[in-house]
Chain A
Amino acid sequence: MSDTQARAGRSDATQAAPLSRAQVRAALGGRRIEAVVIGGSAGGVDALVALLPGIPAGYTLPVFCILHLPGDRESRLAELFDDRLPVPVREAVDKAPIAPGTIYFAGSGYHLSVEQDRTFSLSCEPPVAFARPAIDVLMESAADAYGSGLAAILLTGANHDGAAGMAAIHAGGGFTVVQDPNDAQVPTMPLEALRRIKPNLVLPLAAIHALLPMLETEEP
């Protein structure tokens, strides 16, 4: 897709105001969402601080969050958010079954994957796009595990990790949302994804915040 087409595609889907339930239902196109994956890099912590409080108590979907982190330091993100959010927030542990209504963070130094039996696995293969954990690795494996039941959100970032993952989710029939590059602290990552796919939605953070509770398509 050329840059011009990408821009055109973006302006089609970009929304200024939060979406209504009816609009979200239309965008979901009958998908029954079973899990959400959110990736970001530079500016990603701020973006998640703005975004994750959109998840209400009693949320039923598992949410996988992955940010690029320095490999030699332990990530405290799960602890940080566990104190602030009304749902449990954990670091994803090797071989752990995925629990509903839990937010999981990818830890530092290892790739995180979702297995077809809906458990997590870690691996120390070489970095992908200089990153470990890599967004592509998590997204591609989650696409295999959940297919059209996966909703993916790609946020601000300064490299191209995540673009291949979003493309895999798109190809697998999943629901894709890219942060509006004009709204992103660093637009490179969203732009790279928009070069690869035309996502279901391109939204600013505030609208993604409002979207999160509406991804629960099953009545609780």
Chain B
Amino acid sequence: MSDIDIELRMLVEAVYLKYNYDFRDYTGASQKRRVLVALREMECATVSELQARVMHDADAFRQLLQFLTIPVTEMFRDPEYYAAVRQHVVPILKTYPSLNVWVAGCSTGEEVYSMAILLQEEGLLERTQIYATDINPESLAAARRGVMPLERMRAYTENYQKAGGKRAFSDYYTAAYGGALFERALVDNVTFADHSLATDSVFAETHFISCRNVMIYFNRRLQNRVLGLFHESLCHRGFLGLGSKESIEFSNHAQRFEALARRERVFRKVGA
């Protein structure tokens, strides 16, 4: 094992023991890259030096956390996913009197607002409770604010239209001070909550879980844990949506989900 691999393992162990954030089962290659970026930005010469700082300075940990989590997301990312949700998932969701939807690893909220817009256009938002969870408090705060960079609106509008949007995308936000502030009503029924897929357990029975490009950062052991959680949380024949290049075929739970829209990565729970 190389020196840096030893240091990386000690860093995530220290972070776990001291702050109870569990990055021990994140995939190595991308985590290493993010720590190396943190080293540069936080002006530490070695991972060990970074570890010492983080151990004795909670602010330094909060800073490191912004590097360890990956807040790269966009609204209606992979429009075909949302189109598939409209086509395959919504008709069945409409048969329930009330709904629980879980956006797991919601980051800065782009996916939450996208999902809320979709549910509103399908007449489901009022009877839906959305749980939007993440481990990064700064991301959750940003998600609650619901202000997106204005310069992204052109790309998001294009995504929204491709995703089967039924109105003008600009109906949903007010442009002000270089930001796009999204309608508060969209998130009236959203609970933003701190929840760790690595350490926390199931908190509600859900009908639909959207967890996109989160498990690609997890190793197979953690992926297994999370798919187990999802299976437990989902109601009978509940739906699971993943990122466009995610696979569950190498997981222990592969047989417990069936593909509903294979290309768009929409799955359905099978079994109890």
- A interface list, Cβ under 8 A from B: 93-97, 107, 109-111, 113-116, 119, 121-126, 137, 140-141, 144
The 9 closest A-B pairs by CB, nearest first: A113-B29, A141-B29, A123-B30, A121-B27, A95-B250, A122-B216, A124-B72, A94-B247, A93-B247
Q: How far is the CA of A188 from the CA of B73 in the complex (A)?
A: 32
Chain B positions within 8 Å of A94 at CB level: 216, 245-247
A115-B27, A115-B28 given as contacts; is B245 within 8 A of A125 (CB)? no
Q: Cβ of A123 and Cβ of B247 under 8 Å apart?
A: no
The residue from A95, A109, A110, A121 contacting B29, defined by CB atoms under 8 A apart: A121
Asked if B256 lies at the interface with its beta carbon under 8 angstroms from chain A, I say no
CB distance from B154 to the nearest CB of A (A): 14
Q: How far is the CA of A95 from the CA of B34 in the complex (A)?
A: 19
Q: Cβ of B250 and Cβ of A125 under 8 Å apart?
A: no
Chain A positions within 8 Å of B145 at CB level: none
A93-B245, A94-B245, A96-B247 given as contacts; is B70 within 8 A of A115 (CB)? no
* 8 A-B residue pairings within 8 Å (CB atoms): A94-B246, A95-B247, A95-B251, A110-B245, A114-B29, A119-B250, A140-B29, A144-B32
Chain B positions within 8 Å of A115 at CB level: 27-29, 219
Chain A positions within 8 Å of B213 at CB level: 124
Q: B20-71: which residues lie under 8 A (CB-CB) from chain A?
A: 27-30, 32-34, 70
Q: Is the contact region of chain B dominated by helix, strand, or loop, or is it mixed? A: loop
| Residue in chain A with minimal CB distance to B77 | A124
Chain A positions within 8 Å of B30 at CB level: 111, 113, 121, 123, 125
Q: Count the B residues whose beta carbon is within 8 Å of the partner chain — how many?
A: 25
Chain B positions within 8 Å of A96 at CB level: 247, 250
Q: Cβ of A144 and Cβ of B245 under 8 Å apart?
A: no
Chain B positions within 8 Å of A125 at CB level: 30, 33-34, 70, 72
Q: Cβ of A116 and Cβ of B28 under 8 Å apart?
A: yes
Q: B173-207: which residues lie under 8 A (CB-CB) from chain A?
A: none
CB distance from B263 to the nearest CB of A (A): 9
Given A95-B220, A123-B27, output 11 extra A-B contacts at Cβ < 8 Å: A110-B216, A111-B30, A116-B29, A121-B29, A123-B30, A123-B217, A124-B72, A124-B213, A124-B216, A124-B243, A140-B29
CB distance from A104 to the nearest CB of B (A): 13
